[in-house]
Structure 1
Amino acid sequence: MQVDHHDLHSEFPEMADAIDALKSGNAHFAKLFATYHRLTGRVEDLEENDMPVADFTIEDMKKQRVKLKDELYHILLAYRAGQQAAK
């Protein structure tokens, strides 16, 4: 089965520097990033290995991932806005 990879750097390649800066400098972002990364890995493993799992379970995991990605994205936007304002 072809699996799309959803790591944050692939999702937002234009924000790679901000992701790296926030991972090391913002504990809240780092915690969310780690949770997103673990959840993404679990979903991709289930899909890649065609493991038996209830549809609602994987859908729930994907919904959690989308929620985390949205929160991470908003933190990234705020960080970049702050960087622009500082210039």
Structure 2
Amino acid sequence: MPLQYHPLSREFPQYEDQLRALLQADSHFARMAEEYQELDKRIYEAEDGRVAMDEMVLQGLKMQRVTLKDEIAELLSNQAKS
């Protein structure tokens, strides 16, 4: 499987409008999205071999990304219901 980034727009295509609205209107959500993007970038660089990283550290970053993704999904879902 080819290595790829996991941007929020690809992870949540069904919430495109909500994603855009929350990024503009909610500073907390924007910070969460920025943190997700940074985690995704660090993970990609480690998996691609650009940055050396201990496997346990990499797994920790992946867990942080999953947790953050779940929080973002909940906010997007709530926004869609509004």
Note whether the superposition's TM-score is higher than 0.5. yes
Match of 1:17 in 2: 17
TM-fit CA distance, 1:18: 0.8
CA offsets 1:56-85 (integer angstroms, 9 cap, x no match): 000000000000000000000000000xxx
Match of 2:29 in 1: 29
TM-fit CA distance, 1:50: 5.3
TM-fit CA distance, 1:48: 1.6
Preserved CA contact (<8 Å) 1:2 1:48 = no
CA offsets 1:1-48 (integer angstroms, 9 cap, x no match): 831321111111111111111000011111100100111011111112
Match of 1:47 in 2: 47
**Equivalent residue runs for 1:69-80 within 5 Å:** 69-80=69-80
Q: How far apart, in 1, do the equivalents of 2:52 and 2:34 lie?
A: 25
> Which structure would you say has the larger Rg?
1
Q: Given residue 13 of structure 2, which amino acid in structure 1 is its aligned partner?
A: P
Q: How far apart, in 1, do the equivalents of 2:11 and 2:47 lie?
A: 18
Identity among equivalent pairs (%): 30
Aligned residues: 82
Q: Secondary structure at the match of 2:74?
A: helix
Match of 1:57 in 2: 57
Unaligned stretches of 5+ residues in structure 2: none
